[in-house]
């Protein structure tokens, strides 16, 4: 599910909605850090940090780009990284999907993010 989908396909709404991108990225960070056993401080650090923290950050950036449809540049801005770093993160996570255990974890993260996003959208219709 992309943010564009939730805006009824209007790309202009998605392009001018930086606060929504930030909200999505903060939710992804929180969920990924808790799931992969790293702190938010480690995930948000400007340095690479421990390998586990770097992989958690890569996973969060991957989900923002692939699952929510944010551009590499939008993800980079929200995670304080360059778009080429985001592209590298996506490639690393995609390669890791060959591991059945990680694939299950990623599927659970995607399902949780879908539920959050649908609930978030429902708040606007009340």
Q: Please, which pLDDT band fits residue 82 given cuts at 50, 70 and 90?
A: very high
What whole-number distance in Å separates Cα of residue 32 and Cα of residue 104?
Answer: 14
Model confidence at 20, pLDDT cuts 50, 70, 90, reads: confident
Q: How far apart are CA 49 and CA 110, in angstroms?
A: 25
Residue 17 has pLDDT above 90, yes or no: no
Q: Whole-angstrom Cα distance, residue 69 to residue 64?
A: 7
Report which listed range, 6-10, 15-19, 20-24, 49-53, is most confident. 49-53
pLDDT of residue 36: 96
Cα separation values, 78 from 121, 122, 124, 125, Å: 21, 24, 23, 26
At residue 60's C-alpha, the angle toward residues 59 and 62, to 5°, is 65
What number does CATH give the domain 3-123? 1.10.1750.10
Q: Domain ranges for the chain, please list them.
A: 3-123
- This prediction's pTM: 0.83
Residue 15: is its pLDDT beyond 80? no
pLDDT of residue 14: 44
């Amino acid at each position: 599910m992309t943010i564009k989908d939730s805006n009824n396909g209007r790309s202009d709404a998605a392009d001018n909605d930086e606060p929504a991108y930030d909200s999505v990225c903060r939710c992804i960070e929180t969920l990924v850090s808790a799931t992969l056993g790293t702190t938010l401080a480690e995930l948000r650090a400007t340095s690479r940090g421990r390998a586990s923290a770097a992989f958690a950050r890569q996973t969060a950036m991957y989900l923002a780009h692939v699952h929510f449809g944010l551009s590499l540049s939008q993800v980079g801005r929200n995670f304080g990284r360059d778009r080429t770093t985001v592209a590298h993160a996506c490639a690393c996570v995609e390669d890791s999907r060959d591991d059945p255990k990680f694939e299950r974890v990623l599927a659970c993260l995607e399902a949780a993010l879908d539920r959050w996003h649908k609930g978030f959208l429902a708040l606007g219709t009340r």
